[in-house]
Structure 1
Amino acid sequence: MDIADAPTSAVLRIPKAGETLAADLRRRIIRGQLTAGDVLPTESALMQHYGVARPTLREAFRILESESLIEIRRGKAGARVLGPSRDVSARFMGMVLQAEGATVGEVLDARLVIEPHSAGHIARTRDDHAIQVLRAALDAEAAALSDDEAFGSASAHFHQVVVETAGNRALALMAAMIEGIIARTNTEAMSEPLDGHGPANHRRAHEAHGRLVSLVEAGAAADAELQWRQHLQVVTELHLRRIDSTRIVDLLTD
């Protein structure tokens, strides 16, 4: 059979020179050969090294800048390496969720899966450093009990620390995305009254966080996971007093 008559599922596409150059620089950044804060050589030096023209080099720079891997410093020699960022990745993941029509309820359900699992894992390992980090986050909360905004930030940080100290980087990235979406929806809904705010409610949340730390210190994994799930269910109910669970995630409104 003539190859021209054979069915094909895709059209072959040869990458442009700028894309190939961007891929090489991206690979060096991801592998740590170029680290955050490094300044790339001048355009002239890179053009000579790679044997490319200036438009090709600038196309590669535009690609990497759009991925937040480098920063083009206007009027200064050399682009600066930013490196991979969890915040940037979480923001992109959030936009994918929005494009696919994910709801706030789905995001909150995902948190109910990730955080209790992480809490149980920390209790099983009883890692000294993890416990110290949790205690420090708890102390920061205690100092913010009388301030709605400060306590909200400290509480969100505690939730993130629960996942980060469990040591699973994939879950930590997803948790950062979830926390960003929750923070955004909370900010948009601040004009709505909510019984879950105020010093008394802050103390209840802080006490729940303190109970988790105590269970982690005791190595009570099953109890820690159950207690944290129950706490999150209460938090979710309070959150949904402001936001409709069927509302589509929206990270792009002003």
Structure 2
Amino acid sequence: MVLAETSVCRVRTDRLTKEYKLSNGFAVIPVGSRSNADAVRVPKTAELVARQIRNAIIRGELKDGDTLPAEAQLISEFEVSRPTIREAVRILESEGLVTVARGARGGAKVSSPNYEMVERAAGIILQAQSVTIGDLYEMRTLIEPPAARLVAERNSEVAVPILRSFIEDEMRNIKNRMAVTLQIAEFHRLLMELSGNRTLNMFSQALRGLVDAHLSLSSRRRQGEDPDFSERQLRFGLKSHTRLVDLIEAKDGDAAEAHWKKHMVAAGEVWLAQVGRNTAVDLLD
């Protein structure tokens, strides 16, 4: 694929203007024609090159696993320097859109956008802001019950056999608290996915690492707990899962949302008591 042919934006470092493809054609922005107060930041050449390659990936013109053209070819196509191409590739690598293998057989390969990128960014941002576990769980309580409604109203036929099979797997691991705890988290994510709302699912996936880390912490803190009591608690929770699936099968959106809201509140009281409502989220351990 010849990248330069897919874009009308030609980057030239020796020009006094930069051309951008807009929805209504070209806008030519003369460098130095604006005052410092209202000056528009002109992107670095490497950023413009990275933008073109990024757009090709997002549009599907470059597929997952494709190898970018050789460095010399990119230099020729974009008419820029070697350091500029290398910086552009580093930008894309930092965004998770390419992976670079070093050595004689190395090169930059395309990585399609995925939820891990969102999860990593969300974890860093929330941890840097010292967001608490209580804050995280409150957000889940706000978005998961409406997702249960969507599953019941829109996707019952597909969701019910998937969810029932998942509950059977949970029951098989009932004596392994750590395993079931992580399966429970996966059940919640599966519910979001089956809602059919991709944006809701993205938020759920973004929180995946944080939720799993603190569920694991909760399980470790309960290792000395009486096994019979622990199993009874887990069975009670899975019974609630089964009740939700029954409501989804009945296509009762109101009842599914109300039940899952009640479940989230009750489960939250137990979980937050174990890990601490005001504990800051942490992925560094």
TM-score of the two chains, using structure 2 as the length reference: 0.80
Q: Aligned-pair RMSD on alpha carbons?
A: 2.4
Task: Find the aligned partners of 2:166 and 2:121 in 1 and give their Cα distance.
Answer: 27
SS of equivalent residue, structure 2 residue 207: helix
State the percentage of identical aligned residues.
33
- The aligned residue for residue 94 of structure 2 is 66
1:31-50 map, 5 Å = 31-50=59-78
Relative to structure 2, which stretch is displaced further, 90-99 or 228-237? 90-99
1:49-89 Cα distance to aligned partner (Å, 9 max, x none): 22222211110111011111110011224211111111221
AA partner of residue 165 (structure 2):
A
Amino acid at match of 2:124: M
Q: Which amino acid in structure 1 is aligned with residue 203 of structure 2?
A: M
Which blocks of at least 5 consecutive residues in structure 2 are unaligned?
Answer: 1-31
In structure 2, the residue matched to 1:16 is 44
The answer on 1:214 being equivalent to 2:250 is: no
Q: Deviations over 1:74-106 (max 9, x none)?
A: 122421111111122122123222233322111
Equivalent residue letter for 1:160? R
- Other-structure match for 2:177: 148
Amino acid at match of 1:205: G
* Partner SS for 1:236: helix
Separation (CA, whole Å) in 1 of partners of 2:222 and 2:102: 46
Q: How far apart in 2 are the matches of 1:5 and 1:162?
A: 52
**Post-superposition shift, 1:142?**
2.3
- Identify which of 46, 49, 55 aligns with 1:27: 55
Q: Distance in 2 between matches of 1:66 and 1:89?
A: 13
Task: Describe the SS at the equivalent of 1:132.
Answer: helix
Q: Is 1:106–2:139 an aligned residue pair?
A: no
* Residue range with higher mean Cα deviation, 116-125 or 196-205: 196-205
- CA–CA distance in structure 1, aligned partners of residues 217 and 74 of structure 2: 46
Specify the code of the residue in structure 2 equivalent to 1:29.
Answer: I
Q: Is the 8 A contact 1:69 1:81 kept in 2?
A: yes
Q: After TM superposition, what 4+ stretches of structure 1 lie above 4 angstroms from structure 2?
A: 3-7, 194-197
Check whether the contact 1:64–1:70 (CA below 8 A) recurs between aligned residues: yes
Structure 1 residues 28 and 229 mapped into 2: Cα distance closer, same or farther (>3 Å)? Answer: same
| Equivalent residues of 2:159, 2:194 under 8 A apart | yes
Which one-letter code corresponds to 2:67 in the other structure?
Answer: V
Match of 2:188 in 1: 159
Higher strand share: 2
User: Which deviates the most, 136-145 or 112-121?
Assistant: 136-145
For structure 1, the residue ranges without an aligned partner over 5 or more in a row are: none
TM-score w.r.t. the length of structure 1 is 0.89
Higher alpha-carbon Rg: 2
Q: Kindly tell me: are residues 186 and 39 of structure 1, through their superposed partners in 2, closer, same or farther at Cα, counting changes over 3 Å?
A: same
Supply the distance in 2 between the matched residues of 1:190 and 1:207 (Cα, whole angstroms): 19
Q: Secondary structure at the match of 1:26?
A: helix
Matched pairs, number: 250
